């Protein structure tokens, strides 16, 4: 409302121009947020699979990790089925017909009825982004958001999320201590 009106007057833009730019900004933001969302499912899958696998010889940890990881592969599969799919080859279309293209057509990020991105190129970009996120686990939020924490605080961004985030180190120490007391040797191996 009022802010847009002030910007219009200041810049001398017509209402249609503002609508066009606002539409474009929202479209791009929706696309970017959907890409980040897909990548978060991939990261979640990798982390839970690693926890499950690394705790195989530590029953107390693996019982929890295995239970926790039961639904995660489904979400990872949904990224492939519903968000990012490789465009079908022409020969596949000829052999499978339209039935084989339904998922491709409606994939949110790569489907022709979605954002229409090139799946192969998008995967490369998201892989690089995933590598940035996981480069320094001690600074995950800054790596993920590409904004230092002090700037997030100053701008009032994600304030509620950060309250939860700030609880993680103490909780992680408590869990690690409990697992250490259960079986220190197996915890070290895990």
Structure confidence by residue, pLDDT tens digits, 88-133: 666 665 665 555 555 556 678 887 778 888 888 898 999 999 998 8
Please, what is the average pLDDT of the chain? 81
Q: Global pTM?
A: 0.72
| φ, ψ dihedrals at 173, nearest 5° | -65, -40
> Where does the chain have alpha helices with state H?
2-11, 15-54, 59-68, 72-78, 90-96, 102-106, 119-134, 140-145, 149-155, 159-165, 168-189
Residues in the chain: 190
Q: How far apart are CA 62 and CA 188, in angstroms?
A: 14
**Model confidence band, residue 87 (pLDDT cutoffs 50, 70, 90):** low
The two three-digit tokens of residue 156, written as one number? 């009032």
Q: Are 107 and 77 in contact (CB under 8 A)?
A: no
Q: Are 33 and 109 in contact (CB under 8 A)?
A: no
């Amino acid at each position: 409302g009022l802010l847009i009106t002030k910007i219009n007057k200041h810049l001398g833009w017509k209402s249609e121009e503002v609508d066009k730019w606002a539409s474009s900004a929202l479209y791009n933001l929706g696309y970017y947020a959907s890409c980040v969302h897909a990548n978060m499912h991939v990261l979640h899958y990798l982390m839970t699979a690693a926890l499950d696998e690394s705790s195989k010889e530590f029953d107390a940890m693996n019982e929890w990790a295995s239970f926790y990881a039961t639904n995660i592969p489904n979400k990872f599969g949904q990224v492939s089925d519903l968000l990012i799919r490789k465009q079908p080859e022409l020969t596949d279309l000829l052999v499978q017909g339209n039935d084989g293209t339904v998922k491709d057509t409606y994939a949110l990020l790569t489907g022709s009825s979605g954002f229409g991105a090139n799946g192969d190129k998008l995967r490369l970009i998201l892989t690089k982004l995933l590598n940035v996120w996981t480069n320094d686990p001690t600074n995950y939020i800054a790596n993920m958001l590409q904004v230092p924490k002090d700037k997030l605080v100053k701008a009032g961004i994600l304030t509620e999320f950060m309250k939860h985030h700030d609880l993680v180190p103490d909780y992680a120490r408590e869990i690690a201590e409990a697992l250490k007391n259960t079986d220190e040797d197996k915890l070290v191996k895990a």
